Amino acid sequence: MAALVPIPASQTTDAAASSFALTDSVRLIAVPAARAAAAITAAALEPLLGRTLEITEQPARSGDIVLSCLDHGEHEAYTLTVAHDGVQVIGGDAAGLFYGVQTLVQLVAASGAERHIAATVIEDRPRFAYRGVMLDVARHFFPVPVIERYIDRIAALKLNHLHLHLTDDQGWRLELRAHPELTALASSTSAQGDAGGFFTKDDYARIVDHAAARHVTIVPEIDAPSHTHAISLAHPELMEPIALRESVMNVVNAFGGGVPTAGEPYTGFAVGFSSLKTRDEATYDFLADVYGELAGMTPGPYLHVGGDEALGTDPADFADFMNRATRIVADLGKTPIAWHEAGASGDLSDDTIGQYWGLTTPAEGMGEKARTFVRAGSKVILSPADVIYLDMKYDADDPLGLTWADGPTSVEDSYTWEPTAIVDGIGEDDILGIEAPLWTETIRTAADIDTQAFPRVASAAEIAWSPAGGPERTWASFRTRVGGLGPLWHRQGIGFHHSPEIAWAPGSGDDAAADDRGEADR
């Protein structure tokens, strides 16, 4: 089995047939509809082949790679056929062709120095429509090139949504013309006292366009009513008094960062102490401005309204707030997403999607809150923190990451879970997809992102894309196939964690080289 991740839905290899040879005469044949995919293919194959493939619309000849799209095919599906006289990738649509190209790149990377690919037929389609990652740019800010690079990395694994956590207690990261004071007064700091930053409207448009070219949808989040201390720096009149509960002080004592103080930037790790005034109409006028401008900047269907860890908000007030916030978003023509706590609200906009972030064994009523979204006729996104939170340590001695989600998360932990087994009463048809969040309290550089995400983000990609069953959908197969991607990732400059759990192929690089990569991007 070649080093393919995620594993395709169906693959038939004919070991007796002649293989395809990647000779110096290979060309990319692409009609206009496939031209964008051809350019991405040529760029991805150049470092592997040592040359740039010619792209042409001329009739194919023996030994060419032919890229095409069906007019009305299955969304995101593709067929890839390798024969001795050529390769053909047919996408059900443009996204399907793009994903077929990613599989082709992995086949070429695995072809060895002889550059021969075995005769094979792959028929592939995703399990879940939503296959996401989240990057927290509020605790630590990352500039546009880092975001674009992360988009490239996740798209190569057939992940198709990037959720940007744009606001939190530590900073506000998006320029809005309606409220320029937010970035002027609340964007300059990050967690641990580091420098901050923000995306201009042009920056955000650049991110959206870069993502769209790779069939990735941007999902922006403005977290509320808690995680809002940064808003207080610009609009103290919208904020309740800080709630210094025991849980807040426990985090302050464990991690430092100082006690949250009104009117001062917060750079610690504590959560749940801030709250918007949920009974004040000025709060909803503010949200209408923010969501309205954000909706106009975001072509994708989703706006995330947060709703997590509102420890300083009265439960009844929290319910009213989430009901109103989701309706503001729905009235803008967008689908609201909220963290699972919002399921306690009872009267959310019916199309609100719930994002479950509890453990694989739900506790404290989290499962019931998640089921609320399904009962309303909507769906859930699963992000069980103990297996899919990329910011968790790999093991207890790692310098990066945290351990609050039931301790460290090994690569095997990240792979050996099943979405339909997390919340009782939530089955395959109730799940929109899965998302792997990367919170950045301890993540400060582009190199840190690579280290924490890879290889565990590949687990998320396979769980989201590949069928649950099948002989190769196993940890034993995965650890070998991911290990086979090591040389490709190394060539691509991905500073991945060289986990001892993985059977890394020769040419995968070493930890010292990986740890140094990416510093210049901060």
| 522 residues of the chain, pLDDT tens digit each | 689 999 999 999 999 999 999 999 999 999 999 999 999 999 999 999 999 999 999 999 999 999 999 989 999 999 999 999 999 999 999 999 999 999 999 999 999 888 999 999 999 999 999 999 999 999 999 999 999 999 999 999 999 999 999 999 999 999 999 999 999 999 999 999 999 999 999 999 999 999 999 999 999 999 999 999 999 999 999 999 999 999 999 999 999 999 999 999 999 999 999 999 999 999 999 999 999 999 999 999 999 999 999 999 999 999 999 999 999 999 999 999 999 999 999 899 999 999 999 999 999 899 999 999 999 999 999 999 999 999 999 999 999 999 999 999 999 999 999 999 999 999 999 999 999 999 999 999 999 999 999 999 999 999 999 999 889 999 999 999 999 999 999 999 999 999 999 999 999 997 433 333 344 344
CA distance 506 to 89: 29
CA distance 399 to 444: 12
CA distance 500 to 13: 30
Per-residue pLDDT, 83: 98
CA contacts within 13 A on the Cβ side of 26: 25
DSSP state for residue 430 in the 8-state scheme: G
Q: What is the pTM of this model?
A: 0.96
Task: With beta carbons less than 8 A apart as the criterion, state whether 22 and 108 touch.
Answer: yes
In this structure, which amino acid lies at residue 18?
A: S
CA distance 363 to 414: 20
Task: Supply the residues annotated as catalytic.
Answer: 309
Query: What are residue 28's DSSP bridge partners?
Result: 55, 65
Per-residue pLDDT, 1: 63
Please give the structure tokens belonging to residue 136: 């927290």
In this structure, which amino acid lies at residue 132?
A: G
> 108-143 in b/e burial notation, b at 16+ Cβ within 10 A?
bbbbeeebebbbbbbebbbbbebbbbbbbbbbbbbe
CA distance 275 to 28: 56
H helical segments located in 133-188: 144-155, 181-186
Cβ contacts of 239 within 8 Å, gap of 6 or more:
228, 229, 231, 232, 262, 274, 275, 276, 277
Task: With beta carbons less than 8 A apart as the criterion, state whether 151 and 210 touch.
Answer: yes
CA distance 154 to 214: 10
Per-residue pLDDT, 246: 94
CB atoms inside a 10 Å sphere around CB 43: 13
Q: What angle do CA 280, 281, 286 make, to 5 degrees?
A: 105
H helical segments located in 336-427: 366-375, 385-388, 411-415
Per-residue pLDDT, 512: 37
Cβ contacts of 464 within 8 Å, gap of 6 or more:
6, 126, 127, 128, 130, 131, 132, 158, 159, 433, 434
Distance in angstroms between the alpha carbons of the first and the last residue of the chain? 38
Q: What angle do CA 141, 147, 150 make, to 5 degrees?
A: 125
CA distance 357 to 360: 9
Nearest to 404 by CA among 518, 255, 289: 255
CA distance 28 to 42: 8
CB atoms inside a 10 Å sphere around CB 247: 15
Please give the structure tokens belonging to residue 234: 């610009």
Q: Write down the number of H helices and E strands in the chain.
A: 16, 19
CA distances from 128 to 99, 161, 375, 465 (A): 14, 12, 20, 6
Nearest to 125 by CA among 73, 72, 71, 74: 74
Please give the structure tokens belonging to residue 33: 């509809």
In this structure, which amino acid lies at residue 136?
A: D
Please give the structure tokens belonging to residue 464: 């989201």
Per-residue pLDDT, 256: 93
Task: With beta carbons less than 8 A apart as the criterion, state whether 107 and 117 touch.
Answer: yes
Per-residue pLDDT, 470: 85
* Nearest 10 degrees: Cα torsion 411, 416, 420, 421: -110
Cβ contacts of 502 within 8 Å, gap of 6 or more:
411, 455, 479, 482, 483, 486
Task: State whether the Cα torsion 108-113-116-122 is positive or negative.
Answer: negative
Helix axes 144-155 and 446-453, enclosed angle (nearest 10): 20
CA distance 223 to 435: 17
The distance from CA 215 to its chain's CA centroid, rounded to whole angstroms, is 13
Query: What are residue 122's DSSP bridge partners?
Result: 11, 80
In terms of DSSP bridges, do strands 167-168 and 171-172 run parallel, antiparallel, or are they unpaired? antiparallel
Look at residue 174 and give its three-state secondary structure: strand
